[in-house]
Chains A and B, each alone.
Chain A
């Protein structure tokens, strides 16, 4: 690690002031990616602004139409929250399978989506569920939020405050974990809301994307069998030590079928 200044503001205003005053600042949420990267000296912020004590970023609220989760809510809190488990159980289940217990007790929803790791789980949930991201300056639809490999629509200094998920009829998430890191080699989130079906894929591309052919097939018939005979092109999919593009293309269909089965059972 290189030397840096550590700050822990109590309000969004103070955080913004610290950010503006610093040379090369970074907000610190749960630190489950940033801290290891800093330890390997691959990142060297001049100032680390710990946003963990800012009250506005915490809390989970639910009504019959939507579920809203504060940016600093940990994966463990999402996984164990009754409101989440009742309104969107697939989201609670997803959070419960991120990383390991240490990661889940420190890692946060806001930190995960701000980082937009191509193999993270949350981006698939946000896109499939049609969530919107409330920041310190605006509201961004999930699909517009995730713009590329580790890229988001966030401007310099802009911070995620909370994420609102419309309540769905049913949803299911299935991932195939990387055997080493246990990130998603591929993860598929299937959600149905008022007869519309949205299917989002993580792990397979540079960033999360929607699978149109699968959505169309499931809108016609919301059952795993509806995906028989559908294939996904491997063109442009990720290829690495653990999985080729062709294998990932296969996993997308297999996991979509299993996610649809889970959604049907939900």
Chain B
């Protein structure tokens, strides 16, 4: 295998740039004549906007423009559309989509909702002006919790949407499921929440908008995960043709879903840039990031599992109330509905399943996909109810799981949720994880923990999830006569390393040095379409497009090689970067064929110089199913309730591994965010006032390096998928699916002697301490 071949741990090409401060993020970009914008945001969760007086602010030094909701309405711009894949209620009627304008018009519906745009020569001047704008609010009663939003008499967020319901949803066979429950020996039921979290990317959002009057077109540099989809969204809002908007994402410092959405700020900036004839920049500060970046999860669910007398799973029934926030954001309605339904039941053989959901509006920042978008929620739901079932039936939780995993010889199959599970070996992964986790030494470790006054617990959590995101992807390859190759792909890295992994695929397939391959992404001019980032699609879609392009290039180069070797294409084989005439054994290197492709005299008559340049669109038919198994050992300090995740093991089946270094990085990052959700991360709104309580890093707890266990990771590569030409299944979100159930169940295992059966995430020290102390404390 060559140095940069597929499967090699090639170090990230982009890291030198990032680690030496040479990355170019939005705030590193300036423009001549640049002016600065700030957004005035609602301080109230729910309030009528009676009057906005900006007369004093207009006269302040440096102030160039102030735009309010009324001004915006006068311009007759369109509301920001939702792109949710689920668009209808159970009845078939369309979901309730209230108009989401870039500025609040007449009423603010969450803390942080944009109320006015202020542009000035400097950011400080714009802030000064923002502070002197007088907004006359009439406060209304807010509701922030989705369960309470559905109660009779709850505050109505939209006058024309009764009961705060966006849509209802169901999937599966209700009759068969109900029947199985009625006949079951055991029914185990658990109410639980997937807590609300937010991505906290290290780079906050920001953008620079420019307008060129001569061509009547716009240029937008934006910290986004998805230039093409958002170009369409912003063009819709401004009522312009998408080709009038050139949308560029430079280096982006983390996204995790929160930079996928169609946010209100970019259209506001584009509008101001045209109005002022000057480039306009806006950078969110961290407080704005907590208020105005989309949040994730926030589902209240009831999960029920039916079992027979032997502990065999018969049926699963889940009902969820999802919090949408005040509006349908870009994909908001999808997550608690189809996003959470598809992978219900995980890797278990469950003959009957039924999932139902209601998505509710509340006076909170809207929700959108966050790393996993429903699959981590589903994984947590099944693993928690299985753990509880083991406890209630008196069966070892490891044994109960092993008894119910789908067997490899039953694949391919379609789950009752319609998921096509093609390849994998769940029992084998489960066994490997158990073996790695040194079960023999466990009893001794429990004793050692006990000697230090600590409780130790173990849990294993197999998961099955799926990829997602846009089903098409583009890859373009252009060759220059100096030997450089430029690869442009419509998928996008926000830090995951595509600048390494995608050239690695092209270089390996063509047999050329990947260092000669320049990589371009995040630019609507560079690729005719692109699905950006999301749904673990980077390799599955972007990588498959690159592979398809490479195959097209090889097919064309084969003709050139045949011509150069005086042979015919059918007699030419290609391997290790060289074309060989199978009859004469004469061969020629790909690099020589590329060099020849610029000279008409060396080409067949039906080919022209530059003929190797290739652009392909790859389209998926079926989503892939990454799967794996996590296991965790934790120590709990009963005196303080604090938790130390002490040991951690994972075996993942991501199909073919292109670059194990990058794949491991994805798993570790996913575990960090899963651990964060399980133990500390939590967006909290005050129920009475609707204020965001966790509005800064002083109150929103993130995991740090010392929160993380040593992780022992392994890959199972014996079951690549045939759903794409690379055999990859996706890796980006898997860690978030496995970590919360592994960690939470391990803590509950540690506390089984204390009679604790459930604690809601995040498992903060006080909650754990209270659970242990039980009835000994007042509530």
A binding-site residues for B, Cβ under 8 Å: 1-3, 40-41, 176, 178-181, 241-244, 246-247, 250-251, 254
| Contacts of B660-704 to chain A: CB distance below 8 A | 680, 684, 693-694, 697-702
* Interface size class, chain B: 20 to 34
Q: Tell me the bound Cα distance from A94 to B127 in angstroms.
A: 39
Q: Tell me the bound Cα distance from A241 to B777 in angstroms.
A: 19
CB-based contact B698/A1 at 8 Å = no
CB-based contact B766/A181 at 8 Å = no
CB-based contact A243/B699 at 8 Å = no
| Cross-interface CB contact of B698 among A3, A181, A254, cutoff 8 Å | A181
14 more A-B residue pairs beyond the given contacts A2-B128, A179-B765, with a C-beta to C-beta distance below 8 A: A2-B124, A3-B124, A178-B701, A180-B680, A181-B698, A181-B699, A241-B684, A242-B699, A243-B766, A246-B778, A247-B769, A250-B640, A254-B639, A254-B640
| Contacts of B118-149 to chain A: CB distance below 8 A | 124, 127-128, 131
Cβ-based interface call for B84 (8 A)? no
11 A–B contacts from the bound complex (CB under 8 Å): A176-B642, A178-B701, A179-B764, A180-B694, A180-B698, A181-B699, A241-B694, A242-B766, A250-B640, A250-B769, A254-B639
Contacts of A41 in B (CB 8 A): 127, 131
CB-based contact A242/B640 at 8 Å = no
Contacts of B697 in A (CB 8 A): 180-181
Q: Tell me the bound Cα distance from A94 to B777 in angstroms.
A: 32
CB-based contact A176/B777 at 8 Å = no
CB-based contact B699/A241 at 8 Å = yes
Contacts of B765 in A (CB 8 A): 176, 179, 243, 247
Contacts of A254 in B (CB 8 A): 639-640
Contacts of A250 in B (CB 8 A): 639-640, 769
Cβ-based interface call for B287 (8 A)? yes
- Residue of B684, B697, B698, B702 with most chain A CB atoms under a 10 A cut-off: B698
CB-based contact A251/B684 at 8 Å = no
Q: Tell me the bound Cα distance from A246 to B779 in angstroms.
A: 10
CB-based contact B766/A244 at 8 Å = yes
Contacts of A181 in B (CB 8 A): 697-699
Q: Tell me the bound Cα distance from A2 to B131 in angstroms.
A: 12
Contacts of B684 in A (CB 8 A): 241
- Residue of A1, A181, A241, A251 with most chain B CB atoms under a 10 A cut-off: A241
Contacts of B642 in A (CB 8 A): 176
CB-based contact B699/A180 at 8 Å = yes
CB-based contact B287/A40 at 8 Å = yes
CB distance from B254 to the nearest CB of A (A): 19
Q: Tell me the bound Cα distance from A243 to B641 in angstroms.
A: 11
Q: Tell me the bound Cα distance from A244 to B767 in angstroms.
A: 10
Q: Tell me the bound Cα distance from A40 to B770 in angstroms.
A: 36
CB-based contact A179/B777 at 8 Å = no
Q: Tell me the bound Cα distance from A2 to B640 in angstroms.
A: 42
CB-based contact A1/B124 at 8 Å = yes
CB distance from A75 to the nearest CB of B (A): 18
Contacts of A242 in B (CB 8 A): 699, 764, 766
Closest to B638 in A: A254
CB distance from A227 to the nearest CB of B (A): 12
Binary interface profile of B, 617-646, with partner A (CB < 8 Å = 1, else 0)?
000000000000000000000011010000
Q: Tell me the bound Cα distance from A2 to B128 in angstroms.
A: 8
Q: Tell me the bound Cα distance from A149 to B352 in angstroms.
A: 59
Closest to A248 in B: B766
CB-based contact B766/A180 at 8 Å = no
| Contacts of B129-184 to chain A: CB distance below 8 A | 131
